[in-house]
């Protein structure tokens, strides 16, 4: 199990690579 | 929510995760916020590979509730692609794993609709209406299902 989520930063690249998977797009103000 | 190991596991298993930060990624936050009409944090969207939003969670939720809504979003995405067998399975998974959350009565409603879509058998709707007499009687979804009895 991963010990943290590996957040991507580029939504368009994630969408292009998703290929049948779902993208979880998180709009956040939490400390990075 | 996100530091919780159950959330990490669920997100890693089911999604390609992308975060846009209101300050650190301000340009993307504005651009994508305009595209998806998302102007508040936290807002979490489930987007399919065509770029279509399939589910939205706005505002903070405790871990169990957050997970239940992520699972509900998976089911809604399956329903949207007309994979009704998978949708019913995933809606029933919400019911089994998160029976005490706000997502559960919605999942019960849509599990019945998914079964009906898969089988074209109106008995699926009647059974769902009857199920609301035993669980989630006071929910808005019970009112919606009452017409099926």
Fold exhibited by the domain B5-148: 1.25.40
**Per-residue pLDDT, A1:** 57
| Per-residue pLDDT tens over the stretch B119-129 | 999 999 999 99
Measured distance CA(B42)–CA(B1) in Å, rounded? 11
This model of the complex carries an ipTM of 0.94
The answer to whether the CB atoms of A19 and B49 lie below 8 A apart is yes
Best probe of the A interface among B8, B20, B43, B69, by most A CBs < 10 A, is B20
Task: Please determine, for residue B91, whether its predicted confidence score (pLDDT) is greater than 90.
Answer: yes
Q: CA dist B63 to B3, B14, B31, B124, Å?
A: 10, 16, 29, 32
| Per-residue pLDDT tens over the stretch B25-63 | 999 999 999 999 999 999 999 999 999 999 999 999 999
The answer to whether the CB atoms of A22 and B23 lie below 8 A apart is no
Band (B3; pLDDT cuts 50, 70, 90): confident
Question: Which sequence spans correspond to the domains of chain B?
Answer: 5-148
Contacts of B21 by beta carbon, 8 Å cutoff, 6+ apart: A28, A29, A30, A32, B29
Task: Please determine, for residue B1, whether its predicted confidence score (pLDDT) is greater than 80.
Answer: no
Give Cα B108 distance to the centre of its chain.
12
| Segment B75-96 mean pLDDT | 98
């Amino acid at each position: 199990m991963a010990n943290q989520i590996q957040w991507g930063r580029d939504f368009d690249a994630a969408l292009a690579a998703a290929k049948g998977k779902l993208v979880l797009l998180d709009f956040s103000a939490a400390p990075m | 929510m996100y530091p919780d190991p159950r959330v990490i596991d669920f997100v890693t298993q089911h999604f390609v995760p992308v975060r846009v930060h209101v300050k650190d990624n301000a340009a993307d936050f504005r651009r994508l916020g305009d595209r998806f009409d998302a102007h508040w944090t936290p807002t979490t969207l489930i987007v399919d590979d065509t770029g279509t939003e399939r589910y939205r969670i706005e505002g903070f939720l405790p871990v169990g509730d957050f997970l239940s809504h992520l699972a509900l979003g998976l089911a809604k995405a399956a329903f949207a692609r007309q994979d009704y067998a998978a949708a019913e399975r995933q809606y029933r998974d919400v019911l089994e794993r998160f029976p005490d959350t706000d997502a559960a009565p919605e999942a019960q409603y849509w599990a019945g609709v998914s079964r009906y879509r898969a089988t074209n058998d109106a008995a699926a709707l009647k059974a769902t209406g009857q199920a609301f007499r035993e669980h989630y009687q006071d929910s808005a979804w019970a009112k919606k299902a009452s017409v099926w009895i």
